[in-house]
Amino acid sequence: MNDEYFNSFCQKVLVKDQSIRFVGIADRLGHLITTTYRKNLIPLMDKGETERYSVQTVLRAAMRESFEEKIGKLVFSVGIYQKLIRATIPIIASRQNKFYVLLSFDVGSEPNSIIVNKILPEIEKNKDYFL
């Protein structure tokens, strides 16, 4: 894994839409590899809270895998909160190489459209780097 590449990838995703507040990449255990925030943004959580959020988010996504045979693989999930919108996008290259792109968006934005039209194509274009 190349930390410099992951930082660059997060920056590319961050500029895809002005409503993106945060982009992070977590490994299959939920450990944050890198994070980036929109310029001049004051995060709602500190670093430790963000790390705990990452572990919990990846754990929830992993728990859903037990239903894949019946409902298919998770493409992305979105949670809408009062102060922000969160999204999780799995990047599963193999059983051992699993990453998760963690995002937050401003309330009132359209995360589904942004993810489908702007972020998933960027992930697909860069998928080989996650192998």
For 1-11, the pLDDT digits (tens) are 577 889 999 99
- Which of the 8 DSSP states describes residue 118? I
Q: What are phi and psi of 22, to 5 degrees?
A: -150, 145
**CATH value at residue 101:** 3.30.450.30
Please give the pLDDT value at position 75: 93
Instruction: Please name every residue paired with 80 in a beta bridge, in sequence order, or none if there are none.
Output: 85
3-state secondary structure of 32: strand
User: CA 66, CA 2: separation in Å to the nearest integer?
Assistant: 30
- Roughly how many angstroms between the first and final C-alpha of the chain, as a whole number? 9
Give the side-chain half-sphere CA count within 13 A for 120.
15
> In the chain, which residues have pLDDT < 50?
none
In terms of residues, how long is the chain? Answer: 131
Please give the pLDDT value at position 126: 87
Please give the pLDDT value at position 12: 95
Structural domain that includes position 44: 3-130
- R_g of the chain, CA atoms, integer Å: 14
* Six-digit token string for 52: 């705990």
The tally of domains found in the chain comes to 1
